[in-house]
């Protein structure tokens, strides 16, 4: 395992961890979601599955989150997350282990970034694993109003969304309303038909952040080889051992087919 720090286009430090198998057959970039970090169980599971299929696994903390990279969570945006993914991939091109095409993978906001990359650079992507990807500002608003209407109204009224972290006890996550306004600039549906790589889309049955019915609309618009799995009883973020084991099985089978 190699752990290092690189710089993004804004000269901010990004923490990157690279695992290189003995005889690599490709690369997989695995990206966490909003407020996430590279040590999250679901990210570690995905990275390990790719590694065990002889793929170089690359995980990293975006800037403006709670990992080891620089930045302030209150400044987090979808565009900044996407730029960090592009910058990590750009840096990797100078490494001895770099190969094209490669896998891109991400959860939630990271899933948006991976999917957008596959839309923008279809020739570089061998496979796309989108784990409950954020789709657009419009769908995000719809889900908020349907499943957390009071919270959403309070966010808009006060200008702040304040929530305790479920993975880091004692941490209060604070997002300004400007973060939500920036989401409206993004929509995967506009270019999803440009994806040419095989796609695996996974979502929890009880996901209320980016619910399965929204994911199905995205899935239906994909024209390449595709597979969608709704994990029974699972929420947005997979933390339970059973859910993580299910994810491991699903992802392993898919990678073997794509390789």
Give 86-93's long-range contacts (Cβ < 8 A, gap of 24+).
Answer: 86/117, 87/6, 87/8, 87/9, 87/14, 88/6, 88/14, 88/16, 88/29, 88/58, 88/60, 89/29, 89/117, 91/6, 91/16, 92/27, 92/29, 92/58
Domain ranges (residues) in the chain: 2-135+186-258
| Of 88, 72, 77, nearest in space to 8 by CA | 88
Tell me the pLDDT of the chain averaged across its residues. 97
In the beta sheet, which residues pair with residue 14?
6
Q: Measured at the alpha carbon of residue 240, what is the angle toward residues 234 and 245, in degrees to the nearest 5?
A: 85
Q: What is the pLDDT of residues 221-245, one digit of tens each?
A: 999 999 999 999 999 999 999 999 9
Q: What is the pLDDT of residues 55-71, one digit of tens each?
A: 999 999 999 999 999 99
Q: What is the pLDDT of residues 21-52, one digit of tens each?
A: 999 999 999 999 999 999 999 999 999 999 99
Q: What is the pLDDT of residue 166?
A: 77
The span from the CA of 54 to the CA of 115, in Å, is 23
| Of 183, 181, 179, nearest in space to 161 by CA | 179
Q: Tell whether the model's pLDDT for residue 165 goes beyond 90.
A: no
Give kind and range of the element (H or E) at residue 137. Answer: helix 137-147
| Of 200, 250, 198, 248, nearest in space to 224 by CA | 198
> pTM here?
0.97
What's 2-135+186-258's CATH class?
A: alpha beta
- The whole-number average pLDDT for the span 148-170 is 91
Give kind and range of the element (H or E) at residue 19. Answer: strand 13-19
Q: Tell whether the model's pLDDT for residue 171 goes beyond 90.
A: no
Q: Quickly state the pLDDT bin for 167 (edges 50, 70, 90).
A: confident
Question: Quick one: how far is CA 95 from the chain centroid?
Answer: 23
């Amino acid at each position: 395992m190699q752990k290092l720090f690189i710089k993004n286009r804004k000269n901010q430090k990004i923490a990157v961890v690279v695992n290189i198998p003995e005889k690599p057959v490709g690369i997989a970039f695995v990206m966490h979601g909003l407020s996430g970090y590279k040590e999250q169980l679901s990210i570690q599971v995905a990275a390990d599955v790719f590694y065990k299929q002889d793929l170089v696994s690359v995980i990293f903390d975006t800037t403006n989150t709670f990992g080891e990279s620089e930045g302030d969570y209150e400044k987090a945006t979808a565009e900044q997350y996407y730029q960090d993914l592009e910058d990590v991939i750009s840096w990797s091109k100078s490494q001895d282990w770099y190969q094209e095409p490669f896998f891109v993978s991400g959860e939630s906001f990271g899933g948006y970034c991976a999917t957008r990359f596959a839309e923008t650079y279809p020739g570089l992507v061998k496979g796309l694993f989108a784990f409950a990807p954020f789709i657009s500002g419009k769908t995000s608003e719809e889900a908020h109003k349907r499943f957390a209407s009071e919270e959403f109204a309070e966010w808009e009224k006060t200008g702040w969304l304040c929530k305790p972290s479920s993975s880091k006890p004692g941490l209060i996550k604070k997002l300004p309303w400007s973060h939500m306004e920036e989401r409206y600039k993004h929509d995967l549906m506009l270019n999803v038909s440009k994806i040419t790589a095989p796609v695996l889309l996974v979502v929890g049955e009880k996901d209320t952040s980016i619910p399965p019915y929204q994911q199905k609309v995205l899935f239906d618009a994909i024209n390449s080889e595709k597979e969608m799995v709704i994990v029974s009883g699972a929420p947005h973020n997979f933390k339970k051992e059973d859910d993580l084991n299910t994810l491991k099985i699903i992802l392993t089978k898919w990678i073997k087919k794509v390789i």
